[in-house]
């Protein structure tokens, strides 16, 4: 095939050849929206031209089959449904109120028309539920969040914090969307510090009711999804107050959850005593109607207490299997980790979309070249590889780590094993914060990697970035969650020295803590062969060594500072150290899972490709933190240099199979190439040029 027939200009009509402006725009459009299935696929040929060394043989379909998992069918139903309903697709420009209505109609369409009923899977088959969330979220992130508010938060609170009577009464209505609901935990003055919330629920033994009260402005429930327009009910978190024998006194039993109707089921009018305000236009997720709720002595039946962990009898006696307020609070929040698991998994979905768009574009976009030679693909620049290839490796790594998290979560839901509950709590906190922070940063990198065209709304980075940004804050602020991981690690560490055992996720620390206490081996510190550096044992040892070291030193520092500053002050003095420790642990867990996934891959070519990607993930992270390893002579200078060189080389190798690696994500065209429903490059081009004002 002649080279001229593979350039974008060969796709131009005669008319366009004669009009330079139109021609240039068309060219740009083809860069942005490559005709991937064109028989003379420029993309494909160019990819081959990009690689100057033998290219690994990767079959995207086989790799994809390994990645997809067993719930791909339900995701495909979601994608097909939106393909068949262009009227339900989100346009680029839409007003807030219209967007909220559209989002509601999208949700109704998925549930009532496409017949996808996620609610039963929340408990029965969480992996299927999260697959649905990921798919709807990739169609429109507002829709993913609205669905999550309805089923994970409002529905999940009823299922997980309530008992049979609640399930019997509410399941059907939640499932079929008649009972749209909210999850009202956060208040104006308290978000992360949930135990600081001030809304109160006082039991009235005379009427057998609870009285829900917002005692001051700071206690107004704020940011509550589904509250501003659509919600009929809210699960309201409030301090449970019980009258004592002395009539003027009440005792605070701690934070509990209550079902509070907020709008009339028939008329949709706001109910007496409830005040609802709109939180207004947001940076992103404007399809979701977030609102503020104030309660002026709203009375609800005693049965509306979600009473799995604590109950109040007709005569006002409190009973609970859990002895303290703190234990009940931990059990209550422990049941809500599903939201975090879903966010971590969906965030990887966003990273897949962004890296696919940026990598496909970078393969096609050409700028500069050697004198008198054709321009080269921008992905042939080492700097572009440096931006995008470790990101692609992280996307794969996070995929397997979050799949592992979902498996553990599903197991926990079945067994209620105490050890597993603690493990999933820390792992979901860690992965949610690590992955969402990474994706948020990567979205900016992807936009920049696509130059000016990355800034066109039609190419999605703007909406992905704005919609995803808050993933770092809701369901637990990332900085706060990482501290829970560090706290858990330190607890396990102390237990170890008291002769206790590590929970499964931390068990690697037992061995590596001992290794840490001895000096690094001066011989292996100098080993620099490719075989050694690509040996999973070397990579895992390095990650584990770093975590052990950080853990040991954090414990020593905390002990020292506690003497003078008290435990709260000491924690704050060591906070950055503790956050680094938590991140290091999460990176270790991610790498372990990636290595396992490579080992288990049945197709040899896919396995070889994933091994390459896994090595890049590991060595790039070691290189990023080379100062730590060098400081303690864990790696000698020659080895540090070898790691750097090899990481660069692996980036280059991964670039050569980058097309197959992103194809294996198997994302529908309307998610990665053009606005929803604009399947052909021509249509996408029309929208794009309209957007830029031509
Ligand atoms: C779009 C959107 C939707 C939401 N939906 C809901 C909903 O449906 N229901 C609901 O109940 N809530 C909802 N929220 C609220 C959300 O859960 C809270 O915003 C979140 O928990 C963080 O609380 P905050 O905003 O009070 O932040 P703060 O806790 O005030 O945090 C502010 C900053 O202080 C830092 N910080 C706080 N504590 C510490 C600490 N101990 N150590 C170090 N740094 C710290 C944080 O890292 C952060 O950078 C939503 C929020 C938004 C924006």
Mean pLDDT calculated for residue range 535-546: 95
pLDDT in the model for residue 517: 61
Ligand 1 binding pocket includes 538 (Cβ within 6 Å): no
Distance 223 CA to ligand 1 centre (A): 10
pLDDT in tens, 606-641: 999 999 999 999 999 999 999 999 999 999 999 999
pLDDT in the model for residue 441: 98
What are the residues whose beta carbons fall under 8 Å from the beta carbon of 517, sequence distance 6 or more? 552
Measured CA to CA, the distance from residue 13 to residue 31 in angstroms comes to 17
Beta strand 290-295 with 274-278 is antiparallel
Ligand 1 binding pocket includes 142 (Cβ within 6 Å): no
pLDDT band (50, 70, 90) for residue 503: low
Q: Which of 184, 192, 234 has most ligand 1 atoms within 8 Å of its beta carbon, as the pocket-test mutant?
A: 192
pLDDT in tens, 276-293: 999 999 999 999 999 999
What are the residues whose beta carbons fall under 8 Å from the beta carbon of 323, sequence distance 6 or more? none
Mean pLDDT of the chain: 88
User: Is the pLDDT reported for residue 679 higher than 50?
Assistant: no
pLDDT band (50, 70, 90) for residue 686: low
Measured CA to CA, the distance from residue 215 to residue 664 in angstroms comes to 54
pLDDT in tens, 450-490: 998 888 888 889 999 999 999 999 999 999 999 999 999 99
Residues at the annotated binding site?
186, 225
User: Is the pLDDT reported for residue 204 higher than 50?
Assistant: yes
Ligand 1 binding pocket includes 282 (Cβ within 6 Å): yes
The helix, strand and coil proportions of the chain, stated in percent and rounded to the nearest 5, come to: 65, 10, 25
Question: Residue whose CA is closest, atom 29 of ligand 1?
Answer: 192
Main-chain dihedrals φ then ψ at residue 270, nearest 5 degrees = -65, 135
Ligand 1 binding pocket includes 480 (Cβ within 6 Å): yes
Measured CA to CA, the distance from residue 242 to residue 34 in angstroms comes to 66
pLDDT band (50, 70, 90) for residue 500: low
Q: What percent of the chain has pLDDT over 90?
A: 75
| Angle (deg, nearest 10), helices 478-497 and 536-573 | 100
* pTM attached to this predicted model: 0.90
Structure-token pair, residue 595: 């290595």
Among 234, 232, 226, which residue's Cα sits nearest to residue 201?
234
Q: Which of 146, 186, 228 has most ligand 1 atoms within 8 Å of its beta carbon, as the pocket-test mutant?
A: 186
The angle formed by the CA atoms of residues 494, 506 and 538, to the nearest 5 degrees, is 120
Ligand 1 binding pocket includes 231 (Cβ within 6 Å): no
Atom of ligand 1 nearest to the CA of 282: 1
Distance 186 CA to ligand 1 centre (A): 8
Distance 250 CA to ligand 1 centre (A): 30
Counting Cβ atoms within 10 Å, is residue 537 exposed (0-12), middle (13-18) or buried (19+)?
exposed
Among the listed residues 134, 187, 335, 475, the single catalytic one is: 475
User: Is the pLDDT reported for residue 22 higher than 70?
Assistant: no
For residue 209, the Cα-to-chain-centroid distance in whole angstroms is 39
Ligand 1 binding pocket includes 97 (Cβ within 6 Å): no
Beta-carbon count within 10 A of 690 CB = 11
Distance 477 CA to ligand 1 centre (A): 5
Question: Residue whose CA is closest, atom 24 of ligand 1?
Answer: 191
Beta-carbon count within 10 A of 678 CB = 21
Ligand 1 binding pocket includes 290 (Cβ within 6 Å): yes
Higher pLDDT pick, 319 / 249: 319
pLDDT in tens, 419-431: 899 899 999 999 9
Catalytic residue list contains 475 = yes
Residues at the annotated binding site for FAD?
186, 225
pLDDT in tens, 297-308: 999 999 999 999
Question: Residue whose CA is closest, atom 26 of ligand 1?
Answer: 191
pLDDT in the model for residue 431: 98
Main-chain dihedrals φ then ψ at residue 582, nearest 5 degrees = -65, -45
Distance 581 CA to ligand 1 centre (A): 22
Strand partners, 294: 275
Ligand 1 binding pocket includes 6 (Cβ within 6 Å): no
Counting Cβ atoms within 10 Å, is residue 555 exposed (0-12), middle (13-18) or buried (19+)?
middle
| Angle (deg, nearest 10), helices 461-469 and 418-449 | 150
Counting Cβ atoms within 10 Å, is residue 466 exposed (0-12), middle (13-18) or buried (19+)?
middle
């Amino acid at each position: 095939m002649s080279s001229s027939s593979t350039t974008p200009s060969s796709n131009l009509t005669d008319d366009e050849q004669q009009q330079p402006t139109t021609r240039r725009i068309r060219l740009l459009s083809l860069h942005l929206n490559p005709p991937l299935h064109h028989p003379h696929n420029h993309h494909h040929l160019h990819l081959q031209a990009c690689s100057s060394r033998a290219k690994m043989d990767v079959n995207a379909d086989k790799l994809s089959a390994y990645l997809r998992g067993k719930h791909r069918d339900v995701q495909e139903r979601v994608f097909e449904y939106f393909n068949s309903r262009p009227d339900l697709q989100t346009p680029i420009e839409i007003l807030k109120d219209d967007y909220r209505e559209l989002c509601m109609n999208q949700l109704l369409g998925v549930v009532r028309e496409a017949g996808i009923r996620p609610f039963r899977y929340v408990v029965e088959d969480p992996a299927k539920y999260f697959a649905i969330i990921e798919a709807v979220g990739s169609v429109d992130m507002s829709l993913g969040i609205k669905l999550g508010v309805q089923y994970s938060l409002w529905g999940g609170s009823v299922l997980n914090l309530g008992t049979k009577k609640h399930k019997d009464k509410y399941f059907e209505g939640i499932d079929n969307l008649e009972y749209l609901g909210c999850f009202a935990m956060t208040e104006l003055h308290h978000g992360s510090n949930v135990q600081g919330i001030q809304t109160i629920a006082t039991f009235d033994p005379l009427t057998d009711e609870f009285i829900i009260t917002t005692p001051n402005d700071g206690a107004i429930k704020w940011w509550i999804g589904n509250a501003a327009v659509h919600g009929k009910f809210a699960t309201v978190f409030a301090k449970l107050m019980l009258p004592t024998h002395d009539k003027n006194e009440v005792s605070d039993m701690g934070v509990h959850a209550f079902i509070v109707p907020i709008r009339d089921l028939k008329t949709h009018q706001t109910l007496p005593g409830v005040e609802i305000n709109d939180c207004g236009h947001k940076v992103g997720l404007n399809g979701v109607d977030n609102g503020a709720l104030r309660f002026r002595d709203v009375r609800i039946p005693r049965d509306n207490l979600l009473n799995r962990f604590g109950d109040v009898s007709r005569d006002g006696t409190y009973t609970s299997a859990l002895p303290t307020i703190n234990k009940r609070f931990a059990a209550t929040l422990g049941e809500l980790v599903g939201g975090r698991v879903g966010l971590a998994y969906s965030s990887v979905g966003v990273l897949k979309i962004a890296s696919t768009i940026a990598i496909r574009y970078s393969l096609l976009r050409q700028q500069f070249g050697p004198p008198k030679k054709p321009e080269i693909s921008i992905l042939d620049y080492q700097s572009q590889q440096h931006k995008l290839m470790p990101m692609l490796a992280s996307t794969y790594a996070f995929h397997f780590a979050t799949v592992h998290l979902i498996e553990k979560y599903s197991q926990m839901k079945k067994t209620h094993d105490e050890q597993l509950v603690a493990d999933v709590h820390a792992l979901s906190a860690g992965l949610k914060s690590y992955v969402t922070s990474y994706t948020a940063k990567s979205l900016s990198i992807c936009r920049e990697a696509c130059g000016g065209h990355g800034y066109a709304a039609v190419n999605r980075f703007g909406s992905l970035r704005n919609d995803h940004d808050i993933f770092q804050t809701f369901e637990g602020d990332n900085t706060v969650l990482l501290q829970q991981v560090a706290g858990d690690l330190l607890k396990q560490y102390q237990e170890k020295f008291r002769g206790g055992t590590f929970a499964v996720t931390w068990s690697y620390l037992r061995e590596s803590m001992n290794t840490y206490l001895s000096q690094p081996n001066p011989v292996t510190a100098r080993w620099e062969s490719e075989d050694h550096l690509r040996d999973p044992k070397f990579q895992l040892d390095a990650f584990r060594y770093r975590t052990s070291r950080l853990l040991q030193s954090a414990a020593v520092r905390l002990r020292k500072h506690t003497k003078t500053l008290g435990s709260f002050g000491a924690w704050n003095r060591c906070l950055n150290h503790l956050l680094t420790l938590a991140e290091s642990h999460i990176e270790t867990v991610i790498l372990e899972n990636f290595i396992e996934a490579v080992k288990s891959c049945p197709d040899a070519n896919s396995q070889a490709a994933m091994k390459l990607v896994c090595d890049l993930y590991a060595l790039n992270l070691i290189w990023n933190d080379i100062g730590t390893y060098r400081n303690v002579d864990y790696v000698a200078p020659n080895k540090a240099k070898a790691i750097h060189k090899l990481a660069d080389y692996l980036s280059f190798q991964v670039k050569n199979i980058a097309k197959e690696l992103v194809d294996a994500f198997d994302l529908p065209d309307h998610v990665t190439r053009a606005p929803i429903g604009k399947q052909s490059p021509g249509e996408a081009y029309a929208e794009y040029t309209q957007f830029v004002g031509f």
